[in-house]
Structure 1
Amino acid sequence: MGLLKKLAGQSAIYGISSILGKSINFLLVPLYTGYLPKEELGSFTMLYAMIAFLNVIFTFGMETTYFRFSTGKGLDPKVVFQNAQSLVAIVGLSLGATLFLFAKDLSVLFEYEGKAHLFQWAAMILTIDALMALPFARLRLEGRSLTFALLKLVNIFLNVGFNILFIVVAYHIVEGDILQALNPIVSKWYNPDWGVDYILLANLLANLLILPILWKLAGQWKFQLKRTILKPMWGYALPLLFMGLAGVTNEVFSRGLFEYALPEGFYPELTSREAGGVFGANFKLAILMSLIIQAFKYAAEPFFFQQSENKNNPLLFARVMHWFIIFCTLLMVAVTVNLKLIGALFFQDEGYAPALPMVPLLLMGYLLLGIYYNLSIWFKITDQTRYSFYITLVGAIVTVVIILTLVPVWGYIGGALSTLGSYLVMVLLCYFIGQKYYPIPYQTKKDISYLLIAFLLSYAGFLLDTGSMLVNFMLHSGIILLYSGLIFLMEKKELSSFYKSITKK
């Protein structure tokens, strides 16, 4: 129970910072939908899908590799960090420079002619992200979760601040609504035709400002390349690179590929790129589940590696999985039954609500991704990372096949099913292969029951609409209480034991 408390405490810090940070970042949704046309949101969706994909190549699995070689390998974590960070810096700077030089060609290829600067800024963002990846990983490994969380929050505050400055404040100054004395100055640099341009610029400036602070707090870095250390690390990381590429295909290609798979005129009032903007905006409503998964991953990955020598770790991993599923299914129910209210609050323009029915599918998809992170520990601590590539490659294929076959038929729902279907296949493969090589006594039947019941209650609550806001609120609250009561009845002994452990002096 003590180890679970430690993991829960670390996850809580990461979670609180993620929830607070993403909640602040989430406020950009009404800003974007209120100030930017749907076509610009479509461009935003596509460009950030590209950045997410390339980010995997820029870091090539070195975060997980750093955790593995800093624990249980008999190596000095400081030496491992120096070498890993040096290699990431070489790769990141080389790839970033290449992308920067070919920015004009990329702008033509992706139909953004005259906007080469977007791809130049993307190259700079990717390079800085790569340079920050291992210092952030070092903070996680050393248990400095509070420092990690505060830095992430500062980065988000800066990003949001620049977004508001460029998209809202500068716009109203130029229009003469506010601060008219600044109009001559702002008018010299403000471009009313820029939309996604300012989003990328805000991201770039926020990263540039946070980089030196992170390097200072994470500790000294000395350039060092030792073949005896890097060769086995590269062998461990290479399958993780391909796993990451396949995984990001699952996670973001559904957004980036959506506008190209959707037939023109499928939604009569929207172009395919505008529909991609609607799809991407609704994708953000699944952010609550996504950030919980991310917070758990931040805490769990170094925790799992540190516990890899513990002879009781299979039982520990099973308990972590069980309570992870309980918490996330409860969150899924709470979010889904109130989804229409959440959508009404954050979409500041018409035309976004028709895509809401896809969000429960995305919430379940992200939950399955979290389960996959739990399951994947077996190939990470047994150094059989090649299986990660096989599993995520199958998931990527499922993603692309579903997008190309179901998006032309079902539109938004088809895009969401690509996420759900991909992660479901990955979970099944990882579970069955893992139980063969590294058996873990998961409470499989009970966990599947929670998943099915929660998903059915979620959709029932989402579809339930009496026409009265008060009655809807009472019924939706009743569904949440019903599921909470079910958890209490099924986990009464465990909850009682946990309560006694946290109140024990």
Structure 2
Amino acid sequence: MSNLKKLAGQTAIYGLSSILGRSINFLLIIVYTTYLNTEDLGAFTGIYALIGFLNIVFTYGMETAFFRYSTGKNLDPTKVYHTTQSLLITSTLILGSALYLAAPWLAMAMQYPGQAYLFRWTALILSFDAILAIPFAKLRLENRAVAFAGAKLINILLNVFFNILLIVWIPSWVENGSLGTDFIGYRPDWGVEYILLANLLANGLIIPYVWWRAGFFRFTLEKEIIKPMWNYSLPLLFMGLAGVTNELVSRLLFEYVLPENYFPGVTSREAAGIFGANFKLAILMNLVIQAFKYAAEPFFFKQSTDKNSPLLYAKVMHAFVIFCTILMVAISVNLTWIGPLFLKGEAYASGFFIVPILLMGYLLLGVYFNLSIWFKVTDKTQYSFWITLIGALVSVAVIIFLVPIWGFLGGALSTLACYLVMTVICYVFGQKFYRIPYQTGRDVLYLIIGFGLSYAGFYLNLESGILDLLAKNFLVFIILALVIFLEKDQILSLVNRKKSG
């Protein structure tokens, strides 16, 4: 129980900081949907899908390898840190330079003629992210959650500041005559350009601070450390690519797969902007999963040598499923007021119906993360390649075949289908090679009932606003009552333990 409390405490710190940071960052969606047109939002969706995809390539699974080789391989953690960071800096120089030089080709391929500078900025953003990955991982490994959260929050605040400065304040000052139209090269026709520029400035400015908090490193490339880490991390690269293929490439491909005039009076790029904006409404689930990953990954590796670790992993999974299922229902039944609160404009409401599917997809992503511990602690990461390759193929196939038919629904189903397939395959192989006593039947029951209640609540519509709100949230009470009924023995045991303690 003490281990679970420790994990819960770390997750709470990461979660609180992530929720606070993302809540601040979420204001940007209000800014974008207020000050930018849907075509700019479509460009933002496409380019950031590319950034998310290439970010996996730039770090190629080295964060997980760093945890593995710093905790369970009888190696000096300091040497592992120096070597891993040096390796990432070296590879980043190569990859970043290649992407920078390929910018004109990318601009043409993604239909941004004459805007190669967007992809040069993208190369710099990716490079800055990559060289910060291992210092952030070191803070997590050392259980310095507050330092990690503080650095992330500063980065988010800088990003928000530059976005508001470039998109809201400067245009307003130019319009009212406080600044000249030629102020530092101000361009009134820029939209997505200022989003990228703000990100670039925020990431560049945070580098010295993060390096100072994590501890400066000595450049060294030790072959006896690099070779096994590379063999361990390479399959994780493909795992990451598959995950981001589903999460981001669906948004990247959406505008190119959706037939023109599918939505009357809305271009494919504008529809992609609406689709991408609705992904943001599933952000609370993603925040919980991200916070959990920050705390759980180093925790899982540290516990891997304990003979009781499989039982602990099962308990963590069960608690995770219960919490996230309740969260899924609570968000879904309240979408009618949560959605308009953050996405300004009637056009975005046309995509609200896909949010429960996206929430369930993200929840399954969290389940998959829990399950994936078996191949990480047994060094069988090669299985992640096949599992995630199948998931990526499922995701792309669903996008290609269903988006032209079902539009937004087809895009959302690609998320759900990918993570569902990956979860099932990972569970089957995991139980074969590293058996963990998961409460599978009960966990699946919670997921199915929770998903059903989520859609029931979303489509429930009573004439009275107050009655409608109460009826929808009564469904949250139903899932809570089910949990209390099925978990009553565990709850009573916990209460008695606290009384006796």
Match of 2:52 in 1: 52
Q: Which amino acid aligns with 1:106?
A: L
Match of 2:383 in 1: 387
Match of 2:428 in 1: 432
Q: CA deviation at 1:378?
A: 0.1
Tell me whether 1:453 sits opposite 2:460 in the alignment.
no
SS of corresponding position for 2:143: coil
Alpha-carbon distance between aligned partners in 2 of 1:100 and 1:443, rounded to the nearest angstrom: 49
Q: CA deviation at 1:344?
A: 1.2
Q: CA deviation at 1:54?
A: 0.7
Alpha-carbon distance between aligned partners in 2 of 1:316 and 1:503, rounded to the nearest angstrom: 23
Q: Which amino acid aligns with 2:478?
A: L
Q: Which amino acid aligns with 1:101?
A: L
2:344 to 339, 348, 355: 348
- C-alpha distance after superposition, 1:64-104 (max 9, x if no partner): 00000001100011000101110100001111111112212
Q: CA deviation at 1:128?
A: 0.4
Tell me whether 1:22 sits opposite 2:12 in the alignment.
no
2:490 to 462, 470, 494: 494
5+ residue gaps, structure 1, are none
> Mapping of 1:89-104 within 5 angstroms?
89-104=89-104
SS of corresponding position for 1:220: coil
Alpha-carbon distance between aligned partners in 2 of 1:489 and 1:430, rounded to the nearest angstrom: 30
Match of 1:134 in 2: 134
> Mapping of 1:228-247 within 5 angstroms?
228-247=224-243
Q: CA deviation at 1:442?
A: 0.4
Match of 1:311 in 2: 307
Alpha-carbon distance between aligned partners in 1 of 2:258 and 2:71, rounded to the nearest angstrom: 47
Match of 1:363 in 2: 359
Match of 1:296 in 2: 292
- C-alpha distance after superposition, 1:134-167 (max 9, x if no partner): 0000000000011001111111111011111111
> Mapping of 1:27-426 within 5 angstroms?
27-176=27-176, 180=177, 182-184=178-180, 187-426=183-422
- TM-score, normalised relative to structure 2: 0.98
Paired residues of 2:174 and 2:181 also in contact (CA < 8 A)? no
Q: CA deviation at 1:186?
A: 6.7
SS of corresponding position for 1:421: helix
Q: Residues 502, 20 of structure 1: CA spacing in aligned structure 2 closer, same or farther, 3 A cutoff?
A: farther
Q: CA deviation at 1:369?
A: 0.2
Alpha-carbon distance between aligned partners in 2 of 1:447 and 1:463, rounded to the nearest angstrom: 25
Alpha-carbon distance between aligned partners in 1 of 2:41 and 2:18, rounded to the nearest angstrom: 23
Alpha-carbon distance between aligned partners in 1 of 2:216 and 2:306, rounded to the nearest angstrom: 31
Q: CA deviation at 1:497?
A: 3.5
Greater shift, 106-115 or 296-305, is seen at 106-115
Q: Which amino acid aligns with 2:58?
A: F
- C-alpha distance after superposition, 1:394-436 (max 9, x if no partner): 0000000000010000000000000000000000000001100
Q: CA deviation at 1:115?
A: 1.1
- C-alpha distance after superposition, 1:255-286 (max 9, x if no partner): 10111110111001201011000000001101
Paired residues of 2:334 and 2:473 also in contact (CA < 8 A)? no
- C-alpha distance after superposition, 1:440-489 (max 9, x if no partner): 11001100110011111110000001132111111122111221122112
Instruction: Note the aligned Cα RMSD (angstroms).
Output: 1.3
Alpha-carbon distance between aligned partners in 1 of 2:186 and 2:461, rounded to the nearest angstrom: 45
5+ residue gaps, structure 2, are none
Count of residues paired in the alignment: 501
Q: CA deviation at 1:500?
A: 5.5
Paired residues of 1:170 and 1:186 also in contact (CA < 8 A)? no
SS of corresponding position for 1:257: helix
- TM-score, normalised relative to structure 1: 0.97
Alpha-carbon distance between aligned partners in 1 of 2:495 and 2:125, rounded to the nearest angstrom: 45
Paired residues of 2:83 and 2:226 also in contact (CA < 8 A)? yes
Alpha-carbon distance between aligned partners in 2 of 1:149 and 1:494, rounded to the nearest angstrom: 32
Paired residues of 1:173 and 1:186 also in contact (CA < 8 A)? no
Alpha-carbon distance between aligned partners in 1 of 2:498 and 2:126, rounded to the nearest angstrom: 42
Greater shift, 417-426 or 165-174, is seen at 165-174
Paired residues of 2:60 and 2:234 also in contact (CA < 8 A)? yes
